[in-house]
């Protein structure tokens, strides 16, 4: 049995320590729009008017420290940009806001930037290459890889 090929992962909810600090990151730096707010405890943000892509809440974490490294939990979640130009614009905003980048990679099928949000959650910003450009092995399976991503070339796109 296999999952239906049109299945997609919808949204992510994150417990945060400081809602305003998280909003400064997700709204003011990454550019998501606030769609709903639940008092001072939760806010939902989206791209393009969708009900929400990311839920931020302090229900169980107001003022809490991030989980220690080396424990189980969310490794990262990924935000898919429609094209290279949009990804470059997002990276430029991160750099202007002095958000540290943890890494970047060319995976053959995609280009990705890795960072942490203010609560230490891993965030991947990426764009997929068109499927005909995906690297394939001789048997037709994907031949993904991890190679350095030239950030200067990416930023020149934006």
Domain boundaries 10-62, corresponding CATH code: 3.10.180.10
On whether the CB atoms of residues 115 and 125 are closer than 8 A, the answer is yes
Tokens of 116: 């942490």
On whether the CB atoms of residues 100 and 115 are closer than 8 A, the answer is yes
Quick: pLDDT tens for 94-151.
999 999 999 999 999 999 999 999 999 999 999 999 999 999 999 999 999 999 999 9
Query: What is the band of 19 on the pLDDT scale with cuts at 50, 70, 90?
Result: very high
Parallel/antiparallel/unpaired status of strands 54-57 and 42-46: antiparallel
Parallel/antiparallel/unpaired status of strands 54-57 and 12-15: parallel
Helix (H) or strand (E) segment spanning residue 35 = strand 33-38
pTM score, whole prediction: 0.91
Quick: pLDDT tens for 72-93.
888 899 999 999 999 999 999 9
Per domain, the residue ranges of the chain are 10-62, 75-158
Exposed, middle or buried: residue 148 (CB in 10 Å: 0-12, 13-18, 19+)? exposed
b/e map 45-55, b = 16+ CB within 10 Å: bbbeeeebbbb
In CATH, the architecture of 75-158 is: Roll (3.10)
Q: Same CATH fold, 75-158 and 10-62?
A: yes
């Amino acid at each position: 049995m296999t999952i239906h090929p049109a299945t997609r992962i919808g949204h992510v909810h994150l417990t945060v320590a400081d809602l305003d600090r998280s909003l400064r990151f997700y709204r003011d730096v990454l550019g998501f729009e606030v769609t709903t707010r639940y008092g001072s405890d939760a806010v939902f943000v989206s791209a393009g008017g969708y009900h929400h892509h990311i839920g931020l809440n302090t229900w169980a974490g107001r003022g809490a420290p991030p989980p220690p490294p080396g424990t189980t939990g969310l490794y990262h979640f990924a935000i898919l940009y429609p094209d290279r130009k949009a990804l470059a614009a997002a990276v430029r905003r991160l750099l202007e806001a002095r958000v540290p980048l943890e890494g970047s990679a060319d995976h053959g099928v995609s280009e990705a930037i890795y960072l942490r949000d203010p609560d230490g959650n891993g965030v991947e910003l990426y764009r997929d290459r068109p499927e005909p450009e995906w690297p394939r092995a001789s048997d037709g399976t994907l031949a993904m890889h991890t190679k350095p991503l030239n950030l200067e070339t990416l930023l020149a796109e934006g």
